[in-house]
Amino acid sequence: MIRNTDQRSKDYKNISHEARPGHADFTGYERYHGFNDIRGGGHFSGRLTAPLVFAGGLCRQYLARRGIYVGAHLESIAGIRDHAFDPCETSEGRILAPENKAFPVIDDMAGEAMREAIEAARLDGDSVGGVVEIMALGMPAGIGSPMFDTVEGRLALGLYGIPAVKGVSFGNGFEAAAIRGSENNDAFYMDGEHVRTETNHHGGALGGITSGMPVIAHVAFKPTPSIAKRQKTIDYVERKDAEIQVQGRHDPCVVIRAVPVVEAVTSIILMDLLLGESN
């Protein structure tokens, strides 16, 4: 149990009737007929990612013992891009390096520009989103199953459980839609005894089954919905138009905090897939 010793429930008084645009106050009210706890965002709060990170920490230890390493970084914030991971990476040191920095990027100059964009949004009473790139090294080939237990499907289900996630793609994802098969296909080759591919557009899974190449996903987060700007909304109890100015402590960008959450969820799902490998 992780006790919240720093709550400020009164900050949420004005949203007991007024729906924060982009947040789950209205949909939660509809789903639970007013019995949802709105203090701190209740079930929809980013705080609920803390136990995920705890569980993910245990799964990472299990994975490391099998030679599997999961690392992530901020691929972009507000459209400002970091360098990408090498899709054919073989060194766990390189994918684990960003998480040991205060600001988890590969290119610190890009990180500085991201920080400035976040601060500019904050000063404007606004917020920004971004993308987390996640890579898992060392997954053996042959894990996962077609249709409903695909590696991509299982990871997407877990990753969409993280609040504010609005997109998940694998390998070169949506970019694959614009290129030819000859450009998108990854040529196989033998690296000693190991089967590898020269490029990794497929993101480590073919037919929903791991190929043995790094598993790569991109996870898009929307801008924090609770912003200081005055916004148009409704009073969802009285059913009338209203205005809202959200109070309280809200990050102008949740994506930095979300990096360990993405690592944790990926670790939980990959361990689960490995435990099911004998089925």
Is 122 an interacting residue with respect to ligand FMN (CB under 6 A)? no
Report the C-alpha gap between 35 and 271 in whole angstroms.
35
Please return the burial class of 230, using the count of CB atoms within 10 Å of its CB with bins 0-12, 13-18 and 19+: exposed
Smallest distance from ligand FMN to CB 145, Å: 27
Pairing of strands 165-170, 215-221: antiparallel
Residues of 62-78 as b/e, b for ≥16 C-beta within 10 angstroms?
A: ebeeeebbbbbbbbbbb
Q: Segment near ligand FMN (CB under 6 A), from 81-89, 128-136, 159-167, 206-214? A: 159-167
Q: Which residues in 211-240 contact ligand FMN (CB under 6 A)?
A: 222, 224-226
User: Over 186-218, what HEC string results?
Assistant: CCEEEECCEEEECCCCCCCEECCEECCCCEEEE
Q: What is the widest separation between alpha-carbon atoms in the chain?
A: 69
d(CA 264, CA 257): 12
Q: Per CB under 6 A, does 29 bind ligand FMN?
A: no
Smallest separation (angstroms) from ligand FMN to the CB of 141: 32
Grouping H, G, I as helix, E, B as strand and the rest as coil, residue 192 is coil
Cβ closest to ligand FMN, residue 46 vs residue 144? 46
| 6 Cβ contact partners less than 8 Å away, ≥ 6 residues apart | none
Question: Does residue number 38 form part of the binding site for ligand FMN (CB under 6 A)?
Answer: no
Question: Given the complex with ligand FMN, which of 151 and 258 has the nearer CB atom?
Answer: 258
List 15, 18, 40, 41, residue binding ligand FMN (CB under 6 A)? 41
Q: Which stretch binds ligand FMN (CB under 6 A): 71-79, 168-176, 208-216, 255-263?
A: 255-263
Does 258 bind ligand FMN (CB under 6 A)? Our answer is yes
Q: Is 210 exposed, middle or buried (0-12, 13-18, 19+ CB in 10 A)?
A: buried
The correct pick among 15, 24, 78, 262 for binding ligand FMN (CB under 6 A) is 24
What are 71's strand-pairing partners?
A: 135
Sole binder of ligand FMN in the list 135, 151, 162, 219 (CB under 6 A): 162
Does 23 help bind ligand FMN (rule: CB under 6 A)? Answer: yes
Using the rule CB under 6 A, which residue among 8, 31, 83, 257 binds ligand FMN? Answer: 257
Number of residues that bind ligand FMN (CB under 6 A): 20
Give least dist CB 244 to ligand FMN, A.
12
Cα–Cα distance for residue pair 225/251, rounded to 1 Å: 10
**Binding footprint of ligand FMN on the chain (CB under 6 A):** 23-24, 41, 44-46, 49, 162-164, 222, 224-226, 250-251, 254, 257-258, 261
